[in-house]
Amino acid sequence: MRSLSAILPFIFIGAVAGGLCLEALCSSGAAASGFGPSPWQEAARYMDRLGAKLSSAGEHAAALECFNESLEQNSSYADAWVHRAGSEKALKNYNASRASLQKAVEADRRNAAAWSALADALSMEGDYENASAAAAELVRIDAKNKACWLKKGNIEQMRGNFSAAEADYNRAIDIDPKYKDALYRKALCALHDNDTDQALELLDLVLTLDPKYKQASTAKGLALQAQGEYEGAVKSFDKALETEARWTPALAGKMNALLALGRDREAADILIRL
């Protein structure tokens, strides 16, 4: 079987030929008037689509060749830069992935997918200041998208900026009052501020929406523990463990609550399993 690199020139020639035929067919319409895509833009899009199919199939090295060819024809094609970044990330070329995302936002300042992926990449690197700036661009572009506000809030939370995070979660909740992820994260802000009553109110709402939300059950256990309600805390940790028996945060929380209740043997059994 011939490798992709061997047949890529023929695929590209076919894509350009297809673009040329399209331009000829439309010579009396938009393309001839200068408003339609050029053959090279059509070829770039074709190679990008081919790369996306290969990427979906897990063929990231081959996909990367297609994205590179797409960008050879149209270096300002932001979507191809975003898709290239995805394949680079899958291949664990993290610096190259971030560089591709930078190229994407330079090519199209209003590409929400590029800003979203760039915010994620910078967060993974621990560069929360620049991740926050990327997320700010994201919500400026797509202010009606609750997931964008959640992403920005999560980054602010990682920065330790809990008041800004809570404001972002409120924006997400304004869009969808039953958005459990934003409600949960807002509860964490309340826990940080030692407002355990508000935290419990929010966490109970989350667990009404999704009883198997293990993070919310664990956080509820911590809030009850902070109030000295150790028996209730143990029950909440157990609820989280019903969803995932080896969920480490719940096991650690339950161990501490058991120690506070003087149930040292049970706590020791958990410690052995951690």
Average pLDDT, consecutive stretches of 10 residues, N- to C-terminus, the chain (274 residues): 47 43 38 61 93 96 96 96 97 96 97 98 97 98 98 97 98 98 98 98 98 98 98 98 96 97 96 86
Could you give the CA distance from residue 187 to residue 218 in angstroms, rounded to a whole number? 12
Tens-digit pLDDT profile for residues 44-83: 999 999 999 999 999 999 999 999 999 999 999 999 999 9
Q: What CATH code would you report for 178-274?
A: 1.25.40.10
Cβ contacts of 185 within 8 Å, gap of 6 or more: 150, 153, 154, 157, 165, 169
The ranges assigned to domains in the chain are 1-23+37-105, 109-164, 178-274
Backbone phi and psi for residue 78, each to the nearest 5 degrees, phi listed first: -60, -40
Give the pTM.
0.84
Q: Which amino acid is at 130?
A: N
Q: What is the pLDDT of residue 167?
A: 98
CATH homologous superfamily of 1-23+37-105 equals Tetratricopeptide repeat domain (1.25.40.10)
Question: What is the domain class of 109-164 according to CATH?
Answer: mainly alpha
3 state DSSP class of 110: coil
